[in-house]
Amino acid sequence: MEYPENATTLIAGVDEVGRGCLFGPVVAAAVVLSPSACEQLQGLGVTDSKRLSPARREGLVAPIQSLAADYALGLATVYDIERINILYASLLAMRRAVSRLTTTPDLCLIDGNQPIPNVRLPQQTVVQGDRLHTEIAAASILAKVWRDRLIVRLDRRYPGYHLARNKGYGSAAHRLALQTLGPTPQHRRSFKGCT
């Protein structure tokens, strides 16, 4: 890994969640951390959000936000996803998150194998980065918690799809509801199983 290593280095981890969902936006977070903040967050158990229980993720939000030099969220709407496809919408959400940072990081570590287009900052892609870098893991947690809270709120607006439980993923109950109720305006109609 070739990135600056000194006491004042600030690295932004960038990750997105919701890419495989049938419902709702894709949400990204960018979290800027110093090496000492990373160490503290590792000690608190920050890791890939998919490896943590919902309660554990919720409990890590405040420490991440307080230890981060900066953090920001970005999203790509269902309209964006349908217009430019899920890959480019995911990159758009990440770009929106990075562009909202008020602190300029020395490097952006991007989860996955695609650099973010139109970002004028040094960036490095990392496959399975949320397991390898605390910065990316912290971003995955903030994005996941924020998106899950949004989907729970949307469950009240669009009852019958079991969104509070499935968070927009294609569970059996969600797919059955789509067959009986049809898609909502927040469903990704280009995704298999949505129409």
| 174 SS3 class | helix
Task: Please report whether residue 38 resides in a domain.
Answer: yes
pTM over 0.75: yes
CATH number at residue 121: 3.30.420.10
Q: C-alpha dihedral over 41, 44, 50, 55, to 10 degrees?
A: -130
pLDDT of 113 over the 70 cut: yes
Q: Supply the pLDDT for residue 109.
A: 97
**Span 37-60, mean pLDDT?**
96
Write down the pLDDT at residue 2: 45
Q: Is 28 helix (H, G, I), strand (E, B) or coil?
A: strand
For residues 8-30, give the mean pLDDT.
95
pLDDT in tens, 115-126: 999 999 999 999
Q: Given pLDDT bands bounded at 50, 70 and 90, which one contains residue 181?
A: very high
According to the model, what pLDDT value does residue 193 have?
81
75-87 average pLDDT score? 97
Q: Domain tally for the chain? A: 1
Q: What share of the chain is helix, strand, coil (3-state, %, to 5)?
A: 45, 15, 35
**What CA–CA distance (Å, rounded) separates 27 from 148?**
10
- Residue 40 — very low, low, confident or very high, per pLDDT cuts 50/70/90? very high
| Residue 57 domain-assigned (yes or no) | yes
Q: Kindly state whether residue 91 falls inside one of the protein's structural domains.
A: yes
Band of the pLDDT at 6, cuts 50, 70, 90?
low
Q: Taking CA 181 as the corner, what is the angle to CA 88 and CA 54, rounded to the nearest 5 degrees? A: 55
**Residue spans of alpha helices (H) in the chain:** 35-44, 54-67, 78-84, 86-99, 129-132, 134-157, 163-166, 172-181
Cα separation, 139 vs 12, in Å, equals 9
Helix (H, G, I), strand (E, B) or coil at 87: helix
Amino acid letter at 31? V
Residue 100 gets which letter from DSSP? T
pLDDT at residue 126, as a whole number? 97
Q: Give the residue carrying structure tokens 């790509």.
A: 76
- Per-residue pLDDT, 5: 53
In a domain, 167, yes or no: no
Per-residue pLDDT, 31: 98
Indicate the pLDDT class of residue 1, thresholds 50, 70 and 90.
very low
- Residue 47: domain span: 11-158
Tell me the average pLDDT across 31-49.
96
| Mean pLDDT of all residues in 150-172 | 97
Q: Is residue 130 part of a domain?
A: yes
Q: Please state, for a pLDDT cut of 90, what percent of the chain lies above it.
A: 93
What per-residue string of b and e applies to 80-89 under the rule 16 or more CB within 10 Å gives b? Answer: bbeeeebeeb
Band (pLDDT 50/70/90 cuts) for residue 192 is confident
Question: At residue 65, does pLDDT exceed 70?
Answer: yes
